[in-house]
A and B are shown apart, each in its own frame.
Chain A
Amino acid sequence: DVKVTQSSRYLVKRTGEKVFLECVQDMDHENMFWYRQDPGLGLRLIYFSYDVKMKEKGDIPEGYSVSREKKERFSLILESASTNQTSMYLCASIRGSNYGYTFGSGTRLTVV
């Protein structure tokens, strides 16, 4: 069964900490994405990557960075966590434009 695996289901971090969210896919997909999901705001794109070492900003990149050193792994980094980054973070990969996303199970991050 093809999978996108997010390293943590739940995380609690302190304000100002540097936070790493890891995502691995086993489908050899070129494109990977990081979204955050908040009640009333839907899914908002933070960053995406269409190749190793390539990245593009999404709609809300401020306060985040990403790393894609290997095709299967796409990491989201919160440089200095803040309480307004408390959210559900979803990683996804895609085979091609018309195939739909495969999502991970999500990481529920709480910043205190």
Chain B
Amino acid sequence: TQLLEQSPQFLSIQEGENLTVYCNSSSVFSSLQWYRQEPGEGPVLLVTVVTGGEVKKLKRLTFQFGDARKDSSLHITAAQPGDTGLYLCAGAYDTNAGKSTFGDGTTLTVKP
């Protein structure tokens, strides 16, 4: 099983601050997904990035896929309490029946 390392593991910030979460691997992925999970619920897909160097924006969230397709970052601008949750990255391979490798997640707490 290939490893995906996420950092930081925990992040506690004040409302209005910016933050970046990182997802790194030694493997090359065909795509990488970011999910957000709230307590007691299943993860919800935020974005899929496919092309090396790709940048996608979802309101205040900016996702970037590394040029070599081994790493990714999630940047949140002006965080709000509603952004609180567990953020998971997952890397997928074309030839693996859709099976993904998940990072251990970043638990984000945004205080009002």
Contacts and interface: CB of A to CB of B under 8 A. Distances in A.
Contacts of A97: 30-31, 92-98
A108 B40 contact: yes
Contacts, number: 71
Contacts of A106: 40-42
A45 B45 contact: no
Interface in B21-51: 30-31, 33, 35, 40-45, 48, 50
Contacts of B31: 97-98, 100
Given A56-B97, A102-B45, A43 B33 contact: no
B92 A98 contact: yes
The SS class assigned to the A binding surface is: strand
Given A42-B105, A99-B48, A101-B33, A94 B98 contact: yes
Given A42-B103, A48-B99, A101 B43 contact: yes
B88 A101 contact: no
A48 B42 contact: no
The SS class assigned to the B binding surface is: loop
Category for how many chain B residues contact A: 20 to 34
Contacts of B96: 97
B1 A59 contact: yes
Interface string B77-95: 0000000000010101111
B99 A98 contact: no
B102 A96 contact: no
Interface string B2-36: 00000000000000000000000000001101010
B38 to A, nearest CB: 10
Interface of A: 4, 9, 31, 33, 40-43, 45, 48, 50, 56, 58-59, 90, 92, 94, 96-106, 108
8 closest A-B pairs by CB = A103-B42, A98-B31, A94-B98, A100-B33, A42-B104, A100-B45, A43-B102, A31-B98
